[in-house]
């Protein structure tokens, strides 16, 4: 966003700043690429790295006043910690690369789940919190790094063996892949593509409840992409499957990595149905209920603090996910009318029927 606004300024100074920001970004991406490709460089990078710590997939966090942080510790503190718990320094090689700072300080994540939790917490002066709680407490940058870190740690934990030979697989130092030494098969960390769709009939938008949602919460309709589907096909199928409506047109909004319960790539879209054919027919195997809401109702739900909304204060009997969820962003776009629907005729990949 900063880069975009600097571009709009259009002055010579802003072009220079734009170039500097952009080149820093390229340098960082090239550096991360090297770390992923070359174990020797990655091993050296541990020495200048910062480490996020986890305990059985729960991130280490600290509270500072009102703020929650996911602190990173440097390699000498990490070595001291391992020594104190009588662990070998080789444990550092179990770390995963999760990113780097503006000045190319690499960030790693390490799970210390085999050590004693309360002793670790008092040594580090903080606590290991479930990601479902930490996610909504942390600021954007920490939240995104911690989510990525947990997704990587979980994927490696679940993919220790080769599905062809049954032999143990070995991770590269950055954790960007695992290799089976006997078959040579390479496995890469994966996330599942999911569409999340805010359906509108022009004047109202459709929100749904799954039985597993917290009481009173409604969200946008969602569903996993089936193998072989385009995004448009998934949107159309999910809307038909879950609420029995036919999508006329749609547009892409944005995407988000969603770590719960496993790693998903949430692909957010707006979709339009014909107001003459807007009668909902809920698939009870998938949803508890689905309902049309007015612009005013959604606007009020968005304004409410999730904590207050859970207690159902005010005139509304429902609440919506907090700002960290992409469903919230779709609703914001809808109430402000800041999305642009692509007409069916101009959508190249629209399925032929």
Ligand X SMILES: NC(=O)C1=CN([C@@H]2O[C@H](COP(=O)(O)OP(=O)(O)OC[C@H]3O[C@@H](n4cnc5c(N)ncnc54)[C@H](O)[C@@H]3O)[C@@H](O)[C@H]2O)C=CC1
Site membership for Mg ion, residue 223 (CB under 5 A): yes
Residue 56 near residue 113 (C-beta atoms within 8 A): yes
CA 47, CA 105: separation in Å to the nearest integer? 10
Among 71, 113, 216, 223, binds ligand X (CB under 6 A): 223
Complex with Mg ion: residue 169 or 222, whichever CB lies closer:
222
Tokens 């969200």 map to which residue?
219
Core vs surface per residue 294-304: b (16+ CB within 10 A) or e: eeebbebbbeb
Residues contacting ligand X: total by CB under 6 A: 17
Is residue 34 within 8 A of residue 99, CB to CB? The reply is no
Return the number of the residue (222 or 264) whose C-beta is nearest Mg ion: 222
Give min distance, CB of 222 to Mg ion, in A. Answer: 5
N-to-C CA span, the chain: 40
SS3 9: helix
Orientation of helix 39-46 relative to helix 12-37, angle to 10°: 110
Name the one range near Mg ion by CB under 5 A: 58-66, 75-83, 218-226, 336-344: 218-226
Find where tokens 């944005």 sit.
Answer: 254
- Interface characters, 187-216, with ligand X (x: CB under 6 A): -----x-x-x--------------------
Q: Is 325 in the site for ligand X (CB under 6 A)?
A: yes
Contact between 54 and ligand X per CB under 6 A:
no
Question: CB of 3: closest distance to ligand X in angstroms?
Answer: 25
- E strand intervals along 11-152: 50-55, 58-64, 67-69, 72-74, 96-100, 106-111, 127-128
Q: Which does 194 bind (CB under 5 to 8 A by kind): ligand X, Mg ion, none?
A: ligand X
Angle between helices 2-9 and 12-37 (to 10 degrees): 150
Choose the one of ligand X, Mg ion, none that binds residue 95, judging by a C-beta under 5 to 8 angstroms depending on kind.
none
Nearer to Mg ion by Cβ, of 50 and 234: the residue is 234
- Considering only residues 254 to 293 of the shown chain, the ones binding ligand X according to CB under 6 A are 256, 258, 260, 264, 266, 286
We find the least distance from the C-beta atom of residue 265 to Mg ion, in angstroms, to be: 15
The counts of H helices and E strands in the chain are 11, 16
Q: Give least dist CB 296 to Mg ion, A.
A: 26
Footprint of ligand X on this chain (CB under 6 A)?
Answer: 192, 194, 196, 219, 222-224, 256, 258, 260, 264, 266, 286, 321, 325-327
Footprint of Mg ion on this chain (CB under 5 A)?
Answer: 222-223
């Amino acid at each position: 966003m900063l880069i975009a606004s600097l571009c709009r300024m259009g002055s010579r100074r802003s072009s220079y700043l734009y170039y500097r920001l952009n080149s820093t970004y390229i340098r960082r991406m090239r550096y991360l690429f090297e770390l992923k490709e070359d174990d020797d460089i990655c091993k050296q990078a541990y020495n200048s790295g910062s480490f996020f710590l986890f305990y059985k997939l729960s991130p280490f966090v600290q509270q500072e006043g009102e703020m929650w942080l996911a602190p990173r510790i440097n390699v000498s503190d990490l070595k001291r910690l391992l020594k104190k718990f009588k662990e070998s320094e080789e444990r550092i090689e179990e770390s995963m690369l999760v990113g780097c700072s503006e000045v190319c300080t690499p960030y790693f994540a390490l799970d210390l789940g085999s050590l004693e939790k309360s002793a670790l917490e008092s040594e580090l002066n903080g606590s290991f919190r479930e990601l479902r709680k930490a996610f909504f407490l942390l600021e954007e940058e920490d939240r995104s790094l911690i989510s990525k870190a947990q997704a990587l740690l979980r994927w490696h934990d679940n993919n220790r063996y080769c599905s062809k030979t049954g032999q143990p697989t070995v991770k590269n130092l950055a954790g960007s892949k695992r290799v089976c030494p006997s078959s040579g098969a390479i496995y890469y960390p994966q996330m599942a593509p999911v569409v999340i769709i805010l359906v509108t009939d022009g004047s109202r938008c459709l929100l749904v409840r799954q039985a597993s949602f917290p009481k009173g919460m409604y969200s946008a309709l969602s569903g996993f992409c089936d193998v072989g589907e385009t995004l448009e096909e998934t949107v159309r199928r999910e809307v038909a499957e879950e609420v029995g409506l036919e999508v006329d047109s749609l547009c892409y909004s944005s995407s988000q990595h969603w770590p719960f319960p496993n790693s998903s790539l949430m692909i957010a879209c707006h979709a339009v149905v014909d107001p003459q054919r807007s009668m909902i027919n809920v698939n009870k195997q998938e949803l508890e209920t689905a309902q049309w809401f007015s612009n005013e109702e959604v606007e009020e739900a968005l304004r409410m603090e999730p904590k207050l909304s859970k207690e159902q204060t005010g005139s509304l009997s429902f609440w919506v996910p907090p700002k960290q969820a992409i469903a919230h962003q779709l609703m914001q776009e809808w109430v402000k009318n800041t999305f642009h629907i692509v007409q069916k005729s101009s959508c190249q990949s629209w399925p032929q029927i």
